[in-house]
Amino acid sequence: MVTRAEVPAAMARFFFLLLLTLFSTAAALKRSDFPPSFLFGAGTSSYQIEGAYLEDNKGESNWDVFTHIQGKIMDGSNGDVALDHYHRYKEDIEMMHSLGLDSYRFSLSWSRILPKGRFGTVNPAGVDFYNSLINGLLQKGIEPFVTLNHFDIPKELEERYGSWLSPEMQEDYTYFAELCFKMFGDRVKHWTTFNEPNLMVKLEYFSGKYPPNHCSSPFGKCTSGNSSTEPYIAAHNIILAHAKTVDIYRKNYKAKQGGSVGMTIYMRWYEPLRNISADHLAVSRAQSFEAPWFLDPLFFGDYPRQMRQILGANLPKFTKGEKQLLKNQIDFIGINHYKTLYVKDCIYSPCDRDTYNGDALVVELAERNGIPIGKPTPVANNYVVPSSMEKLVMNLKQRYNNTPMYITENGYAQISNSSTATEELINDNERISYIRDYLTYLGYAIRKGADVRGYFAWSLIDNFEWLSGYTVKYGLCHVDMKSLKRTPKLSAKWYSKFINGYKQIDKTSEEYPKQIWAEISAWTSCRKLNPTNWNNEVSMEAWFYELTDGGTDDKVKGLRSLVILVIWANWRERNARVFQDKEKRMRQLVDDIKDEGRLWVRAAHAPEIDLLSYERYWRSVTLYSSLYL
C-alpha cells in the first residue's frame, strides 16, 4: 500500500527520470556520434553568390541572359552582384572558419574560366580567383568540395549548338573538367561533376521553367521544345560526359592527386498515397525517374527497366562500348534532399500528371485526407519529414552496394519580403530543429551501416535562389541586401556548437549527473535555480523531490511548469502531424499544463501563462523545444 507521504517522492523520481530521458534524447545528437573523418560543412554555388558577372573578362552564362528577361525571376532580381562573394571571399572564409566548418562545397563558374568554352582561351583572372579561394580555405583548415557544374554554362555553347541537346557538349564539358583537374586538382580531393542534373533537365526541357525554356504541352507552354524527348537527350549527354570525365581523371590524375569524382542527385522520398498495389508500384516508378535515371547507368551500364518500358523509343540507347565505359564510373553519390511527398498511380486511376514526374505516370501530392505528410514550412510542398533521410540513405545503400555517400544539400527555407524584420530571419529556431532532426535520422542510417561521409547544410549564406530570387532564404548566415553585411543566424551558432562537440561522459560514471545539470543550468530560465549543494544523482533526485513537495515559491512553481513544458514540447516535436492547427496546439498545451495545476512558465523571468496570447506562447514553446531539447 502506498501512503500519501510516498506519493511526492514517487512523483519526484518520475519527473527526474523523465527529464533524464528527455535530456538523453536531446543530447543524443552529438558530433561524437559521427565518424571522426566525417565532414560537416555548408554549400553555395557560383551564380548564386559570386556576382561580378562581367568583371575581369568573365563571359556571359545562360543564367546571366535569362535573369535579365523581364518577368522571369519572382522579385525581378539577378545575380549581377549577388552576395559579391567574388570580392568578399576572404570575409566569407573567415566566417566559415569561425563556425568551425570542416569543408566548403562550392561550384566553379564555367564562363568565368572559359568564357567561350573550348572555342576560346582560358581567362587567367578566373583561374586566379579560384586558386585564391581554394588556397584561402586550405590555410584555414577547410577542405574544398568542388562542383564543376551547378546549372550555369557559357552562353556561347547554348547559342552555338544547343548545349546539352548536342553530343558536342560532352566534348566541351570534358575539356573544361580536365582543365580544372590540371589547375586545381593538386589541392582538391572531392569533385562533383554535376549538381542535380535530374532536376536540371526536367526544369530546362520538361516544364521549361529554366533556360533554355524548352517544353511542350501538356507540361508547359513554351515557344519551342519537346517534353517527351528532350529531357532524355540532355540527360543522355550529361551521363556520358560524366563517365568520360571520370575516365579521364582515373587514367591521368587519380594516382598523383588522390581525389575522387562523384555526382550529386536531387532526391525526393516518396510514400504511397493509398495502401494499394497500384500506388506502391507508382512509388517504384517515381523513384526510377529520380536517382536511378542517372545512377543506374553509372553503376550497371543502362537505364532502369521501368523507364525503358514506359518511354520506349523516347529514351536514348547506349552503345555496347558506352555501356562498358559507364559501369562503375562513380566514386561517391551526392544527395540533395528536401522533399517528401505522396504518390498516386495514374495508370489505373484518373489524374492529371504533374510537371515534375508526369512521365512516370504518377501524380505527387502533399496531403492524405487533408492531413499534410509532415510539418509545413514556409515553402509550398516542402514538409519536414526527418525520417525520410534515413529511408532514402538506406535505399541507396541497398541499391548501389553501399557506395560512399555525402549529403551535399539539406536545409530549411525562410520566406522574406520588404516588410520582413531582420530579427525574424536571424532568430531561425525552426532551422535548428530541422537540421538537428534530419541529422538525427542520418545518424540512425550510419549506425545501420550506411557509408555516409559528410553533411553540407544548404546554404552557407542567404543567396539567389533561382526563380525565387532573393525572396527565399536558406542561409545559416543572413545577408543584408543593401550593405551585404553577413550576420550568423541562431542556426549558424547552433551548428558551430554542434560541430565543435563536447567531451562524452560515460552515463554510468558519477560525472554523468553533473553533465546533465550543466546542460539544464545553461538554460536561460534555470540560471537562478541552481542547487546549492549536490554531488551525485541521489542529491539531484532529492532536489527535485523538494521542488515537487508542495512548495509555494514562484521559482519552484516555475520550474515544475518548465519541466512539464519541456516534456510536452519534446512530445510535440516528435508528433507534429497530430496537431496541424496552431490554435488547437495552443489550447492542448495550456490544458495539459493546467491539468497539472501549473499555471506558470516563469522560471526566473517568464510571464504567467494566462497573460500570454496564444501567438506569443507558441513562440515560447518553439523557443524551448528548439533550443533546449
Is 217 strand, coil or helix? Answer: coil
* 565: phi then psi, degrees, rounded to nearest 5: -60, -45
Rounded to two decimals, the pTM is: 0.78
* 301: phi then psi, degrees, rounded to nearest 5: 95, 0
Residue 318 near residue 237 (C-beta atoms within 8 A): no
Is 298 strand, coil or helix? Answer: helix
Q: What is the mean pLDDT of each run of 10 residues along the chain (629 residues)?
A: 43 45 53 91 99 97 98 97 98 97 98 96 98 97 98 97 98 98 98 99 97 94 96 99 99 97 98 97 97 99 97 98 98 98 93 84 95 95 96 98 98 92 94 96 96 98 98 98 97 94 47 47 38 41 44 45 45 41 47 39 33 36 37
Question: Could you confirm whether 409 is annotated as catalytic?
Answer: yes
Q: Where are the domains of the chain?
A: 6-26+506-627, 38-268+286-341+378-500
Residue 537 near residue 565 (C-beta atoms within 8 A): no
Check residue 511 and give its pLDDT: 53
Check residue 28 and give its pLDDT: 57
Check residue 12 and give its pLDDT: 46
Helix 512-522 / helix 537-547 crossing angle, nearest 10 deg: 40
- 158, 290, 409, 430: the active-site residue: 409
- CB neighbour class for 320 (10 Å; exposed up to 12, middle 13-18, buried from 19): exposed
Considering the segment(s) 38-268+286-341+378-500 as one domain, its CATH architecture is Alpha-Beta Barrel (3.20)
